[in-house]
């Protein structure tokens, strides 16, 4: 037993060696620069700790979603390049610039605001293109998007303290729809040509996410953005990727049910036979999805899958351990991890592994292995 978990009721183990392995495996598959995506606390793993280990492995570029996430890395001692993929409030643009943080320019309105500011230092921006995701970015799937893009470029390129460092987009279906991915790729290439023709030559072009990096080596460009594959999930069955998170708790009580006994809030489960149930020390406030209630999900105890019965509570969950004859209070319970893959539990919850990892509560201690 890990000495750091010996006295913990619920915890999340993060295997930094696994993350390093996944990074290096990805690195072996591309000659492009790898932008490691550590937004949302590195998908629940802990952004600073993960970025430090990845820096040790040679990563010199990180991507986040917000100015707050970028500053967390800076305050944590991460001096590498950082790109904010999401929106930055105009009031915080100077803060990003002062900390050497690059950020996205996704609209003409944002470009106008940036150009109107009396900048003391150089703003490093990446033009964000919408190639079919229909989320944010200059929509270059339609002619009106090119008009807005040209207007933005005309203003931006005239400003001495604005550097158009990069251009990027995001694949919507790179994990399974080759024709749509090719379509997005075509839109992106045409837009880059247009940007070059308008007197701007960015040095960093990037469009591949994890799935794009894995499936489309011809589209790697100057950099690829790798997120979920760093954490060993959504890898399409490639066993070279190693899952890096184990979400665990303990049995805190064991008791018997007689036929007809109900369990928990609303008595949502009624025993149809004599049963042995365990109460485990984590609930939806820790990250066990409530939709896993009443047989939709299960946990792993002493190597056996034990179904969740009744409704997942805020701080506790009940599971059927009738088949685990030697189960006892204090036993480790795997909610998901290497032995019970996150993707498997996510399927039970009707979602994806991203959501499960990001939903582990801040109140759950992260324990770092191989730190």
Q: List residues with catalytic annotation.
A: 39, 265
Backbone angles phi, psi at 74, to 5 degrees: -60, -45
Q: What is the enclosing helix (H) or strand (E) of 303? A: none
Letter string b/e over residues 232-246, b meaning 16 or more CB atoms within 10 A of that residue's CB: bbbbeeeeebbbbbb
Contact 128, 148 (CB under 8 A): no
**Alpha carbon distances (Å) from 164 to 90, 120, 150, 237:** 17, 16, 13, 38
Within 10 Å of residue 124's Cβ, how many Cβ atoms? Answer: 19
What stretches of the chain adopt beta strand conformation (E)?
Answer: 11-15, 33-37, 61-64, 81-84, 102-105, 123-130, 138-139, 162-168, 204-206, 223-226, 245-257, 262-263, 269-270, 275-280, 298-301, 304-309, 317-320, 332-336, 366-369
Separation CA 143–CA 326 (nearest Å): 68
CA-CA-CA-CA torsion sign (54, 57, 63, 69): positive
What Cα–Cα distance (Å) separates residue 361 from each residue in 288, 293, 311?
Answer: 9, 18, 19
Distance CA 48, CA 39 (A): 10
Neighbours of 329 (CB within 10 A): 11
């Amino acid at each position: 037993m890990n000495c750091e978990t010996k006295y913990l009721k619920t915890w999340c183990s993060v295997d930094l060696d696994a993350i390093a392995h996944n990074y290096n495996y990805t690195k072996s598959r591309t000659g492009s620069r790898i932008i490691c995506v550590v937004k949302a606390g590195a998908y629940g793993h802990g952004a600073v700790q993960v970025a430090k280990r990845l820096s040790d492995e040679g990563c010199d570029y990180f991507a986040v979603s917000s100015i707050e996430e970028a500053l967390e890395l800076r305050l944590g001692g991460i001096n590498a390049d950082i790109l904010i993929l999401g929106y930055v409030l105009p009031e915080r643009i100077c803060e990003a610039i002062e900390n050497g943080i690059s950020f996205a320019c996704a609209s003409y309105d944002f470009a106008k605001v940036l150009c109107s500011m009396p900048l003391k230092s150089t703003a490093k921006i990446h033009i964000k293109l919408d190639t079919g995701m229909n989320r944010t970015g200059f929509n270059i799937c339609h002619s009106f998007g090119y008009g807005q893009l040209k207007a933005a470029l005309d203003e931006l390129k005239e400003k001495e303290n604005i550097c158009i460092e990069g251009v990027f987009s995001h694949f919507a279906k790179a994990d399974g729809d080759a024709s749509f991915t090719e379509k997005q790729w075509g839109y992106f290439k045409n837009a880059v040509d247009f940007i070059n023709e308008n007197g701007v030559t960015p040095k960093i072009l990037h469009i591949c996410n994890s799935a794009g990096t894995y499936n489309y080596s011809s589209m790697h460009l100057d950099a690829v953005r790798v997120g979920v594959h760093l954490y060993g999930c959504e890898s399409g069955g490639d066993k070279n990727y190693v899952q890096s998170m184990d979400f665990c708790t303990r049995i805190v009580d064991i008791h018997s049910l007689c036929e007809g006994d109900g369990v928990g809030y609303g008595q949502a489960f009624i025993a149809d036979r004599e049963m042995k149930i365990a109460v485990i020390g984590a609930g939806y406030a820790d990250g066990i999805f409530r939709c896993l209630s009443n047989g939709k999900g299960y946990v792993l105890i002493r190597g056996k899958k034990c179904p969740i019965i009744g409704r997942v509570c805020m701080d506790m969950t009940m599971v059927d351990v009738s088949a685990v004859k030697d189960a006892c209070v204090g036993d480790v319970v795997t909610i998901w991890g290497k032995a019970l893959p996150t993707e498997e539990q996510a399927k039970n919850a009707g979602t994806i592994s991203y959501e499960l990892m990001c939903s582990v509560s801040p109140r759950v201690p992260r324990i770092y292995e191989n730190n």
